[in-house]
Structure 1
Amino acid sequence: MPRADRLADPPAVPAELRSYLTELVRRSDAVCGSRLVSVFAVGSIALGDYRHGRSDVDVNVVVEPSLPDRAVRELADSLTDLPCPAAGLELVLYDADFAARPAGVAGFRLNLNTGPLLRYQVSFDSSESPAFWFVIDRAIGFQSGRLLFGRPVREVLAAPARADQLAAVLDSVRDQARDAGHMSDNRVLNGCRAVVFCRTGRWVAKYRAGQVISESEPDFGLIVGSALRSFERPRAEASDLPPDQVREFLNWVREVVEETVGRQCESADDVPDPS
């Protein structure tokens, strides 16, 4: 096992976060000890578009199932006390046996949101949370996760099935359409990423997805361009985009995703029954 006082590949993470992530790994090791299997970054760090002052730090931790519940709670307390230099920390802890399965459910033992611009949240019961963000994060982790400590990502993490990823994308789009406390630029760019995933099967950074959709869908160039410009600013300076245009765009995104899900279901129905 590598040493927990250094990152597996420091140049693979933004310079502004290296000392913070080193301390996060050290505290995880101090609490979990030999039961700590792997720590890796997902989200904007994994996709190569972390923006200081705008992005969260998204981290997955994988542990042996024998880690006691009291240790999970101790880890949540320890990382809450660690000042986050980014907009916030979104950390999810999974048991290794769950992480190794291509599951379509939330499945975490710990979901922790903390930091200067995030509403504090800690949960130890995955049944209380919608599954879609966790499924998407694990898909991004399998595709592009950046190892911070421990065993390589693809040795410990399975990718959710494509059908489960599409279902998660559809649920995420419906959630964004309800405007449940999301910033409008983020809602638009998440929609762009959903469409790019449906078309390519690949996860890309939200900003890059916005560029792709702005170029390929001129009818939505104005609203997507506004979202891109807003996304370039710190989170506290984000613009409020026209609600009607955001709603129209997300309705189109939902239609694209629903069509893709429908084709996926038809394709699955066409598979011969092996019996």
Structure 2
Amino acid sequence: MSWSTPEPLRRYLSDLVAVADEVLGTELCGAYAAGSVGLAAYQPGRSDVDVALVCAGPLDHGVAEELVPRLRHEALPCPARGLELVVYRQAVARSGSPEPGFEVELNTGARMDFRVSYGPAQRPSADGLFWYGLDRSILHQSGRVLLGPPAADAIADLAPDDLRRLVLDALRWWLARPVPAGEVPAPGAEDAVLGACRSWVRLRTGVWLPKVAAGRRLLDEAGPLVDADTADLVQRSVAARDGGVPPTGAAARAFQRRVLADLAAAPA
């Protein structure tokens, strides 16, 4: 791990891979940091730690049930808000499938609700089934190798039509979530705005960017989508990532709707 990473996170990722290796043994083919770590945008105190493990074949349920308690925050304390871990078998990782296709999903941390799912059938569809294909697309582009071959070799990207469908599904899912009423700042609304910026940038330019960089890229390139109010909203959202006042939920939702409409209207 030669990229710039806070030392507590560096130690944690090394320990996580060591535990995975102990439990999975020769079944472990690769381990990759995704999300903010993969995109070189990790913010201590704010970011999650996203990790994907790749195993040779279908994971025995007993092995999966051994891995989860070993990686829970109570056994291996996560220095971030929490760990979001997904285990894929090698065939799924290399397939470019838009389907979830995971063996194990684990969310655990001091400031994160615990969740464990042993396969997509245990994942409620209302929680969104688009995350996994999108995460693998980001991993293909920017996954940081903790163990194994380069991420681009181990994890395939999605076909353009599948990527577009999942991005639009994700935007619709976010729009369906409740927002605070009234014209008051809504903590988390900045991530809704910048997440929409990231979706726009990926479909319009072909690259996954961190949220803040995506916001700035949209301001530079979105043309008619960006009026004075939109520019102020995005800039306010960027500032909120460093402790500034977040935008209102209503403003964030209005922007998400504009981004969704712009992307849905674009030629496939």
- Per-residue CA distance 1:241-260 (angstroms, 9 max, x = gap): 21221121011011122123
For 2:79, give the aligned amino acid: P
- In structure 1, the residue matched to 2:91 is 97
Which deviates the most, 167-176 or 125-134? Answer: 125-134
Could you say what secondary structure the match of 1:189 adopts? Answer: helix
- Asked if 1:252 corresponds to 2:261, the answer is no
For 1:52, give the aligned amino acid: P
C-alpha contact 1:64 1:96 (8 A) present in aligned 2? yes
The unaligned stretches of length 5 or more in structure 2 are 180-186
Where do 1:232-243 residues align within 5 Å? 232-233=242-243, 239-243=245-249
Could you say what secondary structure the match of 1:40 adopts? Answer: strand
Within the candidate set 27, 44, 54, 1:52 is matched to: 44
Which deviates the most, 93-102 or 153-162? Answer: 153-162
Q: Find the aligned partners of 1:165 and 1:66 in 2 and give their Cα distance.
A: 25
TM-score normalised by L of structure 1: 0.85
Q: Find the aligned partners of 1:111 and 1:67 in 2 and give their Cα distance.
A: 12
- Asked if 1:202 corresponds to 2:219, the answer is no
- In structure 2, the residue matched to 1:116 is 110
Within the candidate set 146, 160, 164, 1:166 is matched to: 164
- Per-residue CA distance 1:166-224 (angstroms, 9 max, x = gap): 11110111111123589211111100101111210111111101112234523301211
Q: Find the aligned partners of 2:28 and 2:99 in 1 and give their Cα distance.
A: 22
For these two proteins, the number of residue pairs brought into alignment is 250
For 2:34, give the aligned amino acid: V
Which deviates the most, 65-74 or 201-210? Answer: 65-74
Within the candidate set 62, 70, 90, 1:78 is matched to: 70
For 1:191, give the aligned amino acid: A
Q: 1:109 to 1:180 in 2, by over 3 A?
A: farther
Q: 1:51 to 1:82 in 2, by over 3 A?
A: same
Which deviates the most, 152-161 or 139-148? Answer: 152-161
C-alpha contact 2:58 2:103 (8 A) present in aligned 1? no
For 1:210, give the aligned amino acid: G
For 2:237, give the aligned amino acid: A
For 2:198, give the aligned amino acid: R
Q: Find the aligned partners of 2:5 and 2:265 in 1 and give their Cα distance.
A: 36
Deviating beyond 4 angstroms after TM superposition, the runs of 4 or more aligned structure 1 residues are none
C-alpha contact 2:175 2:253 (8 A) present in aligned 1? yes
For 1:109, give the aligned amino acid: E
TM-score normalised by L of structure 2: 0.88
Q: Find the aligned partners of 1:12 and 1:259 in 2 and give their Cα distance.
A: 39
Within the candidate set 183, 188, 207, 1:183 is matched to: 188
